Chain A
Amino acid sequence: MNTKHVLAVMRREWLELIRTRTLLLTLAFVPFALVCISIGVEWSLSRLPDAAFDLGEGEVMVPALLVRYGNLGVRYSVYALLNEQSLALLLIVAAALPSSVASHAIVGEKVERTLEPLLATPIATRDLLLAKCTIAILPSLVLTWLSYFASLAGISAFAPPSVLAVAMRPEWWIAYFVLAPLLAMASSLAAAIASSRVSDPRTAQGLTSFLLIPLVGTGISAMMGFMSIDLRWVAIATLGLFSLDLALLWIATRLFDRETILTRWR
């Protein structure tokens, strides 16, 4: 890996990205909406009378809730459950968003015909893709982290610290700060693979969402499995995603045929 090349491409991609306002706004919209919804839910829960949570002994959910949230009681267990669902949803969004930036970064270069002088430089395909995908995941990651903190703020406004503590359990920190970047990288590499094989951004995005289904599927099941705190599981998931990223980078590099991309695109 040539660090100078990677840094040069990252710098340039970054400059271009921050000047593509519409793309950034589109990116920001989904997490923003999710945070608003989860805070709204929190607010409406807080307005319900205690009697609303006075569930009968026979209610099937109750034992499961109490197992998971222990001493929180029925009312706050429901809070915690809904919060955790929003957090999981936000995480999936975080993993999926970068794909549109990544496919834009590759197809855009084809459409604007900037590819030929770039490919005439000594930069290696792998370094190029790595740099592009790294910059592609940055904005969505930052948005995701901001959304996470906004959600925490929302929770602390309408619920007691015990409920907040659930949303701040170590597995959520790890999910947001370790697994989310790895998952985001996987999705943007998947987008890179799709983009280097097709000619217009829309097809690329369509194809990416197709590639993303198994990825997000794995992500969700990983999250579910992850709920039962287990450091060994965390280590395995991290390692697994990391290997997935490496494998995808290898495939993307192999499939990014410089010559075909240059000559089929007139």
Chain B
Amino acid sequence: MIRAEKLGRRFGDYVAVEDVNVDIAKGEVFGVLGPNGAGKTTTLRLLTGLVAPTSGRAEVAGISVIDEPERVRTKVGILTETPGLYARLDAIENLRFYADVYGVNDPLPKIQHYLERFGLWSRRHEPVGAFSKGMRQKLAIARAVLHDPEVVFLDEPTSALDPESSRIVRDLVEELRAAGRTIVLCTHNLDEAERLCDRIGVLKRTLLHVDTPKALRRKLYGHLVEIDTLGTVPDAVLEALRALEGVREVTARGEGCVASIADPRTDTPRLVSLLVERGVPILRVAEQARSLEDVYLDLLREGGRP
């Protein structure tokens, strides 16, 4: 449904996005994860024909974003970074305008459906300028999906939302996926990405990793175990530790070592019993606290080119 080859965009001398290669299937929910300034918004703009790439090519629904951006626009819906609603118009008028532009037949029942769903129906006649940030965000999401596009791009859909509204948006994404729509979702929220997405791409100027949440989780959620021993751990023992299942990396550290493992519940006992077997006296075993963010940031550091 979406295919990008060596897609890139520079602004003057500044390279915002480069060498993005990805192939997203119909019905897939693809998450784009990346820090501020990583190029998420720019990538969405490239894929919706809003800005032209300076290198590479991309197709959405089989249509080239370079040759026929107007036709691409008929196939997609986008939640832009800023909601961009008409402040003097009310909720219905805002949605009605976009329904007309996208050629939605009989838009009013659809408008009512989304407004009710997002809890905005009772405020439907108020000018949107008086709406709260989250209310605007919800209205903008409704605008992005009102015309039932084949591909939906959502730039940080839940960034301004309370937990309940986030939940409604997540349900909506599930529903769109079930209806065979393709969804690209930019987010900073690792939890949400994991829950919703079939695959996640970690973006920092280029796509560093593309994988299923499960595989990425193993990478992201890796655990560190610190083991203090009496005296240093012999190299042969370190080698044996590294060979254990579930152990990714073991490094000696003073009197003891640090092991990176997948699951502390199964892997830590294995480490300990091997050390005991080899006669290494253990003083202390502790899991090193590592936040999700730490791991994610490490991942970006290790993959990010300077």
Contacts and interface: CB of A to CB of B under 8 A. Distances in A.
B283 interface: no
Interface stretch (B93-101, B159-167, B213-221, B284-292): B93-101
Contacts of B98: 117, 121
22 contacts: A5-B100, A8-B97, A8-B100, A12-B86, A12-B93, A15-B89, A15-B93, A16-B88, A19-B88, A116-B81, A117-B78, A117-B80, A117-B98, A117-B140, A120-B48, A120-B50, A121-B73, A121-B101, A122-B70, A122-B71, A124-B70, A262-B45
Interface in A172-196: none
B143 interface: yes
Interface string A79-118: 0000000000000000000000000000000001111111
A119 B101 contact: no
Contact of B102 (A113, A115, A121, A262): A121
B70 A116 contact: no
A71 interface: no
Interface in B183-219: none
A120 B80 contact: yes
A12 B97 contact: yes
A122 B69 CA distance: 9
Given A16-B88, A259-B50, A116 B82 contact: yes
B290 to A, nearest CB: 36
Given A5-B100, A15-B89, 16 more contacts: A7-B100, A8-B97, A11-B100, A16-B88, A114-B84, A114-B85, A116-B50, A116-B81, A116-B84, A118-B84, A120-B50, A121-B102, A122-B70, A122-B73, A262-B45, A262-B51
B50 A113 contact: no
Interface in A1-56: 4-5, 7-9, 11-12, 15-16, 19-20
Contacts of A124: 70
Interface of B: 11, 45, 48-52, 70-71, 73-74, 76, 78, 80-89, 93, 97-98, 100-103, 127, 140, 143-144
Contacts of B84: 112-118
A208 B101 CA distance: 29
B7 to A, nearest CB: 16
Given A120-B73, A120-B80, A122-B70, A15 B88 contact: yes
Contacts of B144: 117
Contacts of B83: 117
Interface string A123-138: 1100000000000000
- Of residues B48, B81, B100, B143, which shows the largest number of chain A Cβ atoms within 10 Å of its Cβ? B100
A9 B41 CA distance: 26
A124 B69 CA distance: 11
A130 to B, nearest CB: 14
Nearest to A16: B88
A262 B103 CA distance: 24
Given A8-B101, A117-B80, A121-B101, A20 B51 contact: no
Contacts of A118: 84
A257 to B, nearest CB: 10
Contacts of B80: 116-117, 120
Contacts of A197: none
B70 to A, nearest CB: 6
A75 interface: no
A221 interface: no
Contacts of B93: 12, 15
Contacts of B11: 263
Nearest to B51: A259
Contacts of A115: 84
Nearest to B73: A122
Contacts of B82: 113, 116
Interface in A213-266: 258-259, 262-263
Nearest to A263: B51
Contact of A112 (B45, B87, B97): B87
A63 to B, nearest CB: 57
B71 to A, nearest CB: 8
8 closest A-B pairs (Cβ-Cβ)? A8-B100, A122-B74, A122-B73, A12-B97, A117-B84, A116-B80, A19-B88, A114-B84
B50 A4 contact: no
A109 to B, nearest CB: 9
B88 A120 contact: no
B219 to A, nearest CB: 34
A19 B52 CA distance: 36
B125 to A, nearest CB: 13
